[in-house]
Structure 1
């Protein structure tokens, strides 16, 4: 059941940068997206059309989408929380729009002040408009493996939201471990259940590395036949529910894993390592990628990482 080829969705330019306190220059974001697509990333989450009042880092979404050099065959995705965001995404010629819900009622109430059912209902006009416009629609389910407020999230709750996303017409659905508490056994349990109500080949794993479990969870997901994974170059992003903890799993670490398993990604790891170094220097933070740091040291200083 383990796939021989996977698609990696790069979320660094959006999910990775959105919580940076210092504004990242539009030109830097554009270069980041361009370099990622040139390195072979098939899907790059490039911008977010949300209110700049709530996410000021993403205020230049339209400029980023206008400035990028579009690589044939690459899907450029944007986050769209409402119809206003969708219309902006359409004007920006986004290939895919992303809507989001939570598998945890507590998380939904705390974050957007409504129930899961109400949050999904809000996306109905966006989903309908996307289908009419021929734009890909992706749904992301937060807290699929645990919630900072209610703790454990029942598998049945995840399946329920998968079915709701399916009814909206989502082309892909992300099973997201928002706070990184998932473990391999739980990962397999949730994905096995989700794949009974939605095509396995269109499910994706979005794992955070807060507790150092992301790569292990990806390996577990591979055993369930999952072919799509999200990652962020240099491990960009953080976890607001665990102060100082890392967030998204690093793309370099995921590609290194896949290469070791003989699973095709179409991504040039050497280029990816340089991209991780580029964006880390640009934002003034060290890379969170273990593979990226080790391989960069080996490449530049001729130092072989310890075994």
Structure 2
């Protein structure tokens, strides 16, 4: 059992819409990402976690408490940023933020003001006059200032410019350092890659793959791209016992797939050839995601 558990969670809206037999286990203090294209079932999953909708079958729990039966108790230690921000009829951002702190009975106004400053948010502005980006910042300031054990974030950086997205990533990392558990639903590959310990991919309401981010970013199986000065050098290298890909005889280029343990052998062999360049092709989460979904489409 994890700190957040989804066990065979199913909500069927018909016509293959909803989520189907989803099982995930998230440990305390872990940052876990759920990624998919629009309509994949991310928001339906969140709403069941928050107790807003009831599953047809299966169960969601946080800290051992059923998300349906104990919804009110769970909200006492969970911060939630929804995908669509709809504020109550408070006059200003400050009024809203202070009310959130008061209702939660935790967090601090000093911390909230610090977050607003980092997000370059004028919290004295009227809620009705706020842009989409300002509303998003206000929701984030509320979530991050409450000192919550759990944060459930649905596309939380939507509407933020790249600089503010970096601030958001820093705030996630700070929450992680405090031992808080984060369930992040996002389509921004960079923030998933930089913050998440593990990631699940969802397609048509079903989990199709899971990944430990460390395994991807520090994989011992590497890919290097080489370009040779002469066709003869390329052809001689091709005769060696290496796993090659994307051989381009016109440009004299080739990719080599190799494990770290064999890299010294490769370096020794390359001394005998005329090479123009040699560089590692880094694998990032976006590449991994694209390949997973490409394979899914191919196998349908």
TM-score range, shorter chain: 0.3 to 0.5
TM-score relative to the length of structure 2:
0.39
Flag the structure with higher strand content.
Answer: 2
**Which structure's CA Rg is the greater one?**
2
